[in-house]
Amino acid sequence: MDYLCFKALCCKGPPPPRPEYDLVCIGLTGSGKTSLLSQLCCESQENIVSTTGFSIKAVPFQNAVLNVKELGGADTIRKYWSRYYQGSQGVIFVLDSASSEDDLETARNELHSALQHPQLCTLPFLILANHQDKPAARSVQEIKKYFELEPLARGKRWILKPCSLDDMEAVKDSFTLLINLLEERELEPSRM
C-alpha cells in the first residue's frame, strides 16, 4: 500500500505542457513595445533600440507561453504589418499615451485598421496605454473616448489597460487577462 501511495504522489509524470499562443504586437515607434516585452522576458533594459523589422519573443507565464511577433512601428514598416498577421491568435497594440496629437491620431488610425482587418477582426486585443508615468499621459478614459473604442470594437473581445515600465505587475495582470480571453476563445466551438 505504501508503494501505491508513493507512486500516486510521485510518479504522475511531467506536468501537462503549457499552451502556447501566437500573438502579433503592433504600435508606433517609441510606444514601448520592445521595452515592455524585454522586461516581461527579464532581459536587460540597456541598449534597447527600436525594432526595424520584426522580432519574436517567447514570453513565459505560469499558465501559458506567448510567442509574440513584434513588428516595428516606423512609417516605412507599418504598410507591411498585414503580411505578418497570418496565424496570429491575438493582438497586442501598444500606444504612447503621452505622445503628440499627431502621433496619437496615427496610432488611432492604425488601431482602427487592425480591428477591422480580416485576419485580426475576430481575435482578442490587448491595448496597452503605455507611458502612464509621464506627466503628459492621457488617462484610459481619454484614450477610450479618443480612439472611439466603444462603438468601433463593439462585439469584439478587447482589453484597454494603462501601463508603464514602473509597474510591471500591472502589465503582467493585463497579459493574464489576455490569456484568459485566448483560453475562452479556444474553448468555443469553431465558427465555420
27 is in an annotated binding site: yes
pLDDT higher than threshold 90 for residue 138: yes
Question: Could you give the CA distance from residue 192 to residue 190 in angstroms, rounded to a whole number?
Answer: 6
Is 102 labelled a binding residue?
no
Instruction: List, for residues 15-64, the tens digit of each pLDDT value.
Output: 678 899 999 999 999 999 999 999 999 887 777 788 888 899 999 999 99
Task: Pick the more confident residue, 47 or 115.
Answer: 115
**Is 31 assigned a ligand-binding role in the annotation?**
yes
pLDDT tens readout for residues 160-191: 999 999 999 999 999 999 999 999 887 776 55
Whether residue 176 is annotated as binding a ligand: the answer is: no
Whole-model pTM above 0.85?
yes
The letter for the amino acid at 15 is P
Asked if residue 103 has pLDDT above 70, the reply is yes
pLDDT band at 192 (very low <50, low <70, confident <90, very high): very low
Q: Answer yes or no: is 112 a known binding residue.
A: no
Mark out the alpha helices in 60-129 (DSSP H runs). 75-78, 101-116
Q: What is the pLDDT of residue 51?
A: 82
33 annotated ligand-binding residue: yes
Per-residue pLDDT tens for 65-94? Answer: 999 999 999 999 999 999 999 999 999 999
Start-end of H helices in 53-167: 75-78, 101-116, 140-146, 149-152
Instruction: Please give the average per-residue pLDDT across 141-154, as a whole number.
Output: 88
